[in-house]
Amino acid sequence: MITEFDTSLPSIRQVQNLIKEGAAIQIKLLTGDLLTGKMIWQDVQCLCCVDDHNQHVTVWKQAIAYIKPM
């Protein structure tokens, strides 16, 4: 899988901004799980969210339904 992280995409930039701002967000997964916390990094495959228990949760982007601010 040739991986190119296209920072010109609004969706990629929006996640970058949420990371910079340290915004509290909700991530709804295709499993039905609703993760809450702050994103600390993203790449083409995953993003990392520090949850309310200060745990680093590596989320596979393939499993994301939507992200929205708390």
**Which residues contact a second copy (rule: CB under 8 A)?**
1-4, 6, 9-12, 14-15, 28-33, 35, 41, 43-46, 48, 51, 55-69
Pairwise CA distance, residues 32 & 42, whole Å: 21
Say if CB 24 and CB 37 are below 8 A apart.
yes
Question: From the CB of 38, what's the least distance to a second copy, in Å?
Answer: 14
Cβ at position 27, least distance to a second copy in Å: 9
Residue 4 or 20 having the CB closest to a second copy: 4
Neighbouring residues of 15: CB distance < 8 A, sequence distance ≥ 6: 39, 42, 47, 67
Rounded to the nearest whole angstrom, what is the least distance from the CB of residue 1 to a second copy in the complex? 6
Neighbouring-strand partners of residue 35: 27
